[in-house]
A and B are shown apart, each in its own frame.
Chain A
Amino acid sequence: MDKTISTPAEAVADIPDGAQVMIGGFGGSGAPIELIHALIDRFRATGSPKNITVINNNAGNGYIGIAAMIKAGMVKKMICSFPRSSNAEAFNEKFLAGEIELELVPQGTLAERIRAAGAGIPAFYTPTSFGTELAEGKPTEEFDGKMYVREGWLKADFALIKGQMGDTVGNMTYRMAGRNFNPLMAMAAAKTIAQVSELGEPGSIDPQQVITPGIFVDAIVEVAQPQQEEVLVRTGVVY
């Protein structure tokens, strides 16, 4: 079952207009920059995909990656926990102009909603946000004398994720804190597309070291020397 795709462009070729897309990464670590940029290339060349809903912890930094998607005008809505980072002008401008929607989700709730979707759990209760404006309109219930808020699963049509090692059947490892949301998103999307720095044959990763088992990954592409989001932001790169 060879899931290898030869280029990022081919890997993202079937993401349609209006898709809900999870994108891995937290701040500058673990973002699949080459997959995102391939999606932007396609939009620039064909006008598609547009009206994308992006799920990520943040809402892009600088002028690359998700920020460049937003700047290009392909993003209809962000679902995230922390859009107000230090270099988030692309999102801020569109948001304050009323040109992009925002669903703000506490970070742990965002992670658990994604995990729940991947695990087939439609809803769960969490103490997070009880009594706050982010819980307005949500069912609550008391367990062992404490109040909890019901949250629903969060699914996606596609997940774009980044790993360190991968094999052709989709097993993956991650590099340091670049793991973050990537393994959760891999589980929660109808189709998961991964980029990895080193792609090998089955058996090239010790099974004891596998973090995301291949069952969660649908397509895998090698990007041998991936760009690192924080480095791009710090060097002022504009995509």
Chain B
Amino acid sequence: MSDFNIMEDKLSNAQIAWRAAQDIEDGSYVNLGIGFPEMIAKFQPEGRDVTYHTENGVLGFGKAPAEGEEDWDLINAGKKAITLNPGASFFHHADSFSMVRGGHLDLAVLGAYQVAQNGDLANWRVGSKGVPAVGGAMDLVHGAKRVAVVTDHVTKDGGPKLVESCTFPLTGVGCVTRVYTSLAVIDIEGGKFILREKLPGLSMEALQAVTGATLHTEGDVLDLIVPQDL
């Protein structure tokens, strides 16, 4: 057995975001969910031309402005100030969600509380307490050609986030196609988790032990290698 420690040796959010960014294709239209998924844009590989969509009606936004340079009529769905890239456009909310549901986006990347082996996603509330808020999450899981999730592999308590079936309220049914976690890259196909990549020091058994449903393999499982200095 290796001396791999899951809580210490797992990838940071930045490293997960970096790995997810490597799969963003040149020429694609992409929506990154509020919070952690937004970090992916920072790691977009050089030479790829990617157009980012945000639900509140902007296509082609760029980096955040310098402090003091914000124009608060120019924000993203996370209500953060943004800038525009050449070729950007504005549109109203119905057009924006036509882009989402109408199959016009190539990729949507979201966070998760739980992902089930059939692709069900739970990412909008964990129980019935407090003020519920859904935003655009239930729309974003439909329509994009690929719906990916970035997440820690386990909860703060070490429990599985990849499960047989979600126990938290669902955001969408059978919608996730790929999960980038702090330990592995996993596809969802035919109602199964298919392991594609795992951290090199981590054994199959140890990974399975922190996963709430069976991990299947098809051919080689590649090493999940990311830069250490992110």
Binding site for B on A (CB under 8 A): 26-30, 57, 81-85, 88, 91-92, 95-96, 102, 104-112, 114-115, 126-134, 147, 174-184, 211, 228-231
Contacts and interface: CB of A to CB of B under 8 A. Distances in A.
Contacts of B71: 176
B134 A28 contact: no
Given A85-B133, A133-B169, 15 more contacts: A26-B75, A26-B93, A57-B93, A84-B133, A106-B134, A106-B138, A108-B100, A111-B96, A111-B97, A112-B94, A112-B97, A130-B172, A131-B172, A177-B57, A177-B58
B interface: dominant SS: loop
A206 to B, nearest CB: 17
A interface: dominant SS: mixed
B94 A111 contact: yes
B79 A230 contact: yes
5 contacts: A28-B72, A81-B133, A112-B94, A176-B73, A180-B56
Given A131-B170, A178-B73, A230-B72, A109 B131 contact: no
Contacts of A30: 73
A108 B101 contact: yes
Interface in B137-187: 137-139, 142-143, 169-173
B56 A26 contact: yes
Interface of B: 55-58, 71-75, 77, 79, 90-94, 96-97, 100-101, 120, 130-139, 142-143, 169-173
A105 B142 CA distance: 16
Nearest to B131: A84
A223 to B, nearest CB: 14
B155 to A, nearest CB: 21
B176 to A, nearest CB: 13
B131 A179 contact: no
B92 A180 contact: yes
Contacts of A133: 169-170
A175 B134 CA distance: 26
A179 B92 contact: yes
Given A26-B56, A128-B142, A81 B171 contact: no
A84 B90 contact: no
Contact of A181 (B75, B77, B90, B93): B93
Contact of B138 (A92, A96, A134, A177): A134
A82 B79 CA distance: 12
Contacts of B73: 29-30, 175-178, 228
Contacts of B136: 81, 106-108
A77 B133 CA distance: 15
A112 B92 CA distance: 11
B169 A27 contact: no
Shortest beta-carbon contacts, A-B, top 9: A108-B97, A108-B139, A131-B173, A84-B133, A230-B72, A111-B93, A27-B79, A127-B142, A107-B136
Contacts of B131: 83-84, 88, 91-92, 95-96, 102
B172 A85 contact: no
B133 A106 contact: no
A112 B136 CA distance: 12
